[in-house]
Amino acid sequence: MADEKEVKKDNKEEVSVNKAAEGDLIEIKKGPLKGKKGKVIVLRENSVIVEIGTNSKTDEPIKTVVNHKNYKKAK
């Protein structure tokens, strides 16, 4: 998929947000997981759900929700 850009206008201020697609690799820019990379599982309107690893004891995936403003696409 091509990069999608969403432009919002709030109080005469334009904010451009890059959205990742399902399956893209992203890097988290803010918060306690800053610097972690993960694979996008679900794309939502204001955020994405990302799998950042697996729990070694239970073999369950570790998932987190990240706002579109708080990540960048990894290379």
Q: Per residue in 5-56, pLDDT tens?
A: 555 555 555 555 678 999 999 999 999 999 999 999 999 999 999 999 999 9
pTM exceeds cut of 0.85: no
Q: How far, in Å, CA of 21 to CA of 60, rounded?
A: 23
Beta strands in 1-75 (DSSP E): 4-10, 13-19, 25-28, 37-43, 47-54, 61-67, 71-73
> Is 3 among the domain residues?
no
> Is 14 among the domain residues?
no
Question: For residue 53, what are the domain limits?
Answer: 21-73
> Is 11 among the domain residues?
no
> Is 6 among the domain residues?
no
